[in-house]
Structure 1
Amino acid sequence: MRALAHPVRLAALERLQRHGPATATQLSPHVGATPSVTSWHLRHLAGFGLVRDAEGSTDRRERRWEAVARGFRFEVPEDEDGRSAARVLSGEIFARAAELPLRWLTETEPGLEPEWTRRAGAANTRIVISVEELAALQDKVEELVEPYVTRDAADRPDGTRGVRLLMYALPEAAEGTTDAAQ
């Protein structure tokens, strides 16, 4: 987890997940690092099985990388080092995701067709739920979304486009304790 928490690695992985295979040189301007530094971070991600050589990539001088999956989900380990690493990674993910809605609102939304604008939106719902129910809910949401994430381009109906879904599950402090987020 600590390995993924580095901003360059997280940016490279997100870029590959969203835009498909690329070389370190192609990724470099999007991740804020030189091509050689980007290449080093990609090799590090490959060591953890998060990226790999892209299919059909044979030129080692212009090595093309691809993400192994189109997203990721991690569970917080029980040991203190693991929890600390998870907090660092969550912080990076939250920081990167925090800018997305405002950037979408100013850069993307003004050019969208009305039918897409009507379907866009945000929700902020508080639910009261047990930890087991939360786990089941997360699994159901992932199961519901999965076919849209993994389907081949040939199987998509006309008029499809990428849509970013951001989901947070932020448990509140137990009743009777202090929770600054309330």
Structure 2
Amino acid sequence: MAKGNPYGDFEIDDPKAMRALAHPVRLALLERLRRHGPATASQLSPQVGATPSVASWHLRHLAEFGLVRDAEPGPDRRERRWEAVASGFRFGGVAQTPEGRDAARTLIEQIILRARDLPQRWASEVAPELEPEWQDEGGIYDTRIYATAEEAAQIAQAMEMVLAPFVLRGAEKAPDGARPVRYLRYILPESGDDE
């Protein structure tokens, strides 16, 4: 599970790790740690809808697959703090086996379930409150192209190269006036039937 991509995302290539992550509480824990930094199971539990002991169990499970690790101790050195090992994760290279395809499909379904309400919430709650210049930068793009698998890979790589400098600099190096901007990218190859 090496990091070898422009974002430094954690690369998951083990179907067992994908199945471990494909749990709503584990995905929520990892997302909170990625977005807000190190925290204890007690701090995370109300945010993910689990008791502290259940959150702790799920964090230990994520640690078994290298997705989270112990963070520097906080003010109370008796409490175990956790952190995400990377700002993102990705998975691939598992489609060669039925087990890998099934694990990837399960994880994709869970990720989509977690994100399914984001565009609607953004449109109804966030966008109306944004300054006009930020409203102009938001939106949904639905573009259909015809491409080979190789061309689709080239497009994805080019998009990653454009975003990589912004991903890698993080919040601490962002200029004044910067704010979080979430890019959701769904790449959905169709069946080939021209409808």
TM-score after normalising by structure 2: 0.84
| Structure-to-structure mapping, 1:25-174, within 5 angstroms | 25-57=42-74, 61-75=78-92, 76-174=94-192
Q: Distance in 2 between matches of 1:17 and 1:97?
A: 15
Output the aligned Cα RMSD. Answer: 1.8
- TM-score (normalizing by structure 1): 0.89
| Partner SS, residue 116 of structure 2 | helix
- Tell me the amino acid that sits aligned with residue 95 of structure 2: P
Determine the C-alpha separation between the residues in 1 that align with 2:95 and 2:72: 33
- Quote how far apart the aligned CAs of 1:137 are: 1.6
Could you tell me the percent identity over the aligned residues? 61
What is the deviation of 1:61? 3.4
Match of 1:6 in 2: 23
> Which whole-Å CA distance do the structure 1 matches of 2:168 and 2:103 have between them?
29
User: Secondary structure at the residue paired with 1:11?
Assistant: helix
User: Partners of 2:73 and 2:146 in 1: how far apart?
Assistant: 49
Structure 1: which 5+ residue stretches go unaligned? 177-181
Q: Which has the higher contact order (CA 8 A, sep 6+)?
A: 2
Alpha-carbon distance in 2 for matches of 1:141, 1:68: 23
Letter in 2 for 1:84: D
SS in 2 for 1:65: strand
For 2:127, the aligned partner's letter is E
1:99-143 deviation digits (Å, cap 9, x = unpaired): 111112222222211111111111000111111111122122122
Q: Which runs of 4+ in 1 moved over 4 A?
A: 56-60
